[in-house]
Structure 1
Amino acid sequence: MKKNLKKLDTKFSKKIDKLLKVKKIKNGFKVLDLFSGCGGMALGFEAIGFKTIGYDNNKDCCLTYEENLNSKCFNLDLNKTNIVEKTDVVIGGPPCQPFSVGGLQKGILDSRDGFPAFLKTIQKVKPKLFIIENVRGLLYKNKWYLDKIINFLFKLNYKIDYQLVNMSEYLVPQNRQRLIIVGYKNSFEFPKKSLQKISAEDVLGNYFDYAPEQSKYLTKSMDNYIKKYETASKCINPRDLKKKEPSRTLTCRNLAGSTSDMMRIKLKNGKRRKLFIREAARLQTFPDWFNFCGSEQSQFYQIGNSVPPMYSYQLALKVLDCLTNKNKKIIRSVRFQPSFL
């Protein structure tokens, strides 16, 4: 589908391609990106001029990171590694399965918990600021664990703020709720909400009427299964992608899996097809020039697990303001919004 991207460009996709270019001239600040994934959060920071270094235990993620960011990504298990490298900022999304609504929510008892390694790194490298991205489940059944994390960070003399953010309010065409925790020494302000909402059509454009030869269509039996599923669950609105609205949350399962919950487009002829890698990437606000490594399933997983680079870009602007104490420029991260489409 790469050769067809040009004719399917939208105003939004063109601006994303330019806005999120990796800056060759750096701003002098270094960022450690823990549990980095393929580099969604790092891309927003690199576009502002930060120098990032990634750490992830998935080889495909590290290959994708290095191919697109021109930065090193170390393929290692952070739970078994001590990082002592000096840095200004630490960012990352510790594995969220222990706190996800769909992940059994065992919290600290879950071996997939990445918070101990993240907190240990904060304690050792003593950054000026850090950002943790995680699922909203940490605010509910596992709220006791969030309190424990915050108390630990308070003892390290950080001021702590956190917000439950819906990415659709920050120029991301997706109703994606995530918890953002920020620790800092002086002052920090979260990005302002946008007056604009970006719809799936703003990002995908003619993809809604486009069916390449390699399209994967849902079978009649799959359509019947979906109909039964939506009837049983009293689903008022079908789960097909809607043109005029942001997408629902992209996850590994609904991108890569053949389930009743899968992300799909309903064509004019009534057929449904699965999303392509490029379509999923656009909904997550990755530029079209951003290449993913590994199998199709691996690429879908990388996209589903990512922080949308468009939101990360706005966070990075606020981080730069915090590090340079340029409070008078606090609104610059939203100045481009009125003419974004």
Structure 2
Amino acid sequence: MDSIELFTGAGGLALGTHVAGFHHLGLYEWDEDACETLRENARAEALPGIREWRVHQADVRINSYAIFGQGMLDLVAGGAPCQPFSLGGKHQAQDDSRNMIPEFVRAVRELQPRAFILENVKGLTRQSFRNYFEYIRLQLTYPTVTKKRDEEWTAHLHRLEEVKTKGRHKGLRYNVVTELLNAADYGVPQVRERVFFVGFRDDTGLKWHFPEPTHSLDALVWEQYITGDYWKRHGVRSPPSKPARLGLKLSDLEERDEPFPTKPWKTVRDAIVDLPEPRVGRECGKFSNHKLNPGAKAYPGHTGSPLDMPAKTLKAGVHGVPGGENMLALPDGRLRYFTVREAARLQTFPDSWHFEGAWSEAMRQLGNAVPVDLAAVVANSVAEKLRSSGGH
């Protein structure tokens, strides 16, 4: 199945859709370091089948998609720049020049793929953005009902609402489903909430829903503080006391007499346990991007990620130097920065995937990425549904 991807970044979503069986005819990204990361990994064939990836360093606002034809692609995917909606950014949303969601809508309109996957940050679901969230959903539902020149987005929203309520739209239409997913619920060792818009072209007649979570905090707490299997598996002693913040949850779980149907959330320890201790200025053995960046310090609101829980959301640092939540908080009270390789593990990139650029640049790429395994869960489900209907 053929696809293209916009706003590819370091390749998290692209890898997830690739693993799901989509063949990328083009990857579009404007950032030079991110493009170099993609090209170097394609040249090295970090994963089978990616050597032929065509990476385009381009501004999507001037992209032409004519070479792909109309209605020929199975999937258009992308994680549009999230700073306009990020909880850590300036919250300018539709008024932010970095808002590239309209360009994703244009790609869907011009390419008319059988399906699309759009990913963005949790901040997009904030109450203050509620109307704009609905505006995005309706634009993707009726991509040929375009915004007029000099028309305010609110006026365009009202026209789209009228099209929806009339229920007789004969043009291009997508059946769009949205959901806020926590990557930890799907086996990613990081609490990372992202909103997904998934659409299927109406003429496919396909019905689809988001995959059910496979992992849970309850199952992790059960393994750590009820059975103790987590500590036995890692060959370490269990903590002398149970975390106070889990008090209520533990009291509920202690009454349970059977294990959970879900798997435990994966922790930072699960993710990095087999990596050697990093050193300043030196790569470690066979693992690229695994050297220690010194100078980690805690400050209010940024205290690092505990070893025996999923990591906090990795940050891209667009509003400051990456640090804060890109740190590991060890049980003995020490703090240190995650190495790029450790952060890549937390984003479920394969160890063969090398990141170009200095530590801060590589961490920015990772902070902007979609976790590969989360992308693969969603993309696999979409691919399975598309295969069931035949087609390309």
TM-score, normalized by the shorter chain, greater than 0.5: yes
Q: Equivalents in 1 of 2:132, 2:347: separation in Å? A: 28
Q: Which residue of 2 aligns with 1:191?
A: 211
| 2:192 partner amino acid | R
How far does residue 48 in structure 1 lie from its aligned partner after superposition?
A: 2.7
Distance 1:107 1:199, change over 3 A: same
Q: Which residue of 2 aligns with 1:212?
A: 279
Q: Which residue of 2 aligns with 1:10?
A: none
| Contact 2:307–2:330 (Cα < 8 Å) also in 1 | no
Q: Equivalents in 1 of 2:278, 2:367: separation in Å? A: 22
Instruction: Map Cα deviations across residues 285-333 of structure 1 (whole Å, 9 max, x no partner).
Output: 0111111122222211111111000111111211111211279xxxxxx
Structure-1-length-normalised TM-score? 0.77
| Structure 1, unaligned runs of 5 or more | 1-28, 231-237, 328-341
How far does residue 270 in structure 1 lie from its aligned partner after superposition?
A: 4.8
Q: Which residue of 2 aligns with 1:59?
A: 32
Q: Equivalents in 2 of 1:126, 1:210: separation in Å? A: 49
How far does residue 256 in structure 1 lie from its aligned partner after superposition?
A: 8.4
| Contact 1:217–1:271 (Cα < 8 Å) also in 2 | no
Q: Residue 244 in 1 paired to residue 308 in 2?
A: yes
Q: Equivalents in 2 of 1:109, 1:211: separation in Å? A: 43
Which secondary structure does the structure 1 equivalent of 2:4 belong to? strand
| 2:137 partner amino acid | I
CA RMSD of aligned residues (A): 2.4
Distance 1:255 1:149, change over 3 A: closer
User: Is the radius of gyration larger for structure 1 or structure 2?
Assistant: 2
* Structure 1 segment 1-341 matched on structure 2, within 5 A: 29-52=1-24, 53-68=26-41, 69-70=50-51, 71-84=53-66, 85-86=68-69, 87-140=73-126, 141-155=128-142, 156-185=172-201, 186-194=206-214, 195-196=262-263, 197-205=265-273, 210-214=277-281, 215-218=292-295, 222=297, 226=299, 229=300, 239-253=303-317, 257=321, 259=323, 261-267=324-330, 270-325=333-388
Q: Equivalents in 1 of 2:294, 2:331: separation in Å? A: 13
Q: Equivalents in 2 of 1:253, 1:116: separation in Å? A: 24
Structure-2-length-normalised TM-score? 0.67
| Contact 1:254–1:263 (Cα < 8 Å) also in 2 | no
Distance 1:291 1:204, change over 3 A: same
| Contact 1:255–1:275 (Cα < 8 Å) also in 2 | no
| Structure 2, unaligned runs of 5 or more | 42-49, 143-171, 215-261, 282-291
More helix by share: 1
Q: Which residue of 2 aligns with 1:25?
A: none
Distance 1:60 1:258, change over 3 A: closer
How far does residue 254 in structure 1 lie from its aligned partner after superposition?
A: 9.4
How far does residue 63 in structure 1 lie from its aligned partner after superposition?
A: 2.0
How far does residue 213 in structure 1 lie from its aligned partner after superposition?
A: 4.0
Q: Which residue of 2 aligns with 1:17?
A: none
How far does residue 248 in structure 1 lie from its aligned partner after superposition?
A: 0.5
The percent of aligned pairs where both chains have the same amino acid is 31
Q: Larger deviation: 308-317 or 294-303?
A: 294-303
> Aligned pair count?
284
Instruction: Map Cα deviations across residues 248-295 of structure 1 (whole Å, 9 max, x no partner).
Output: 001112998365x24223457654221111011001101111111222
Q: Larger deviation: 47-56 or 267-276?
A: 267-276
Q: Equivalents in 2 of 1:317, 1:174: separation in Å? A: 20
Distance 1:206 1:272, change over 3 A: farther
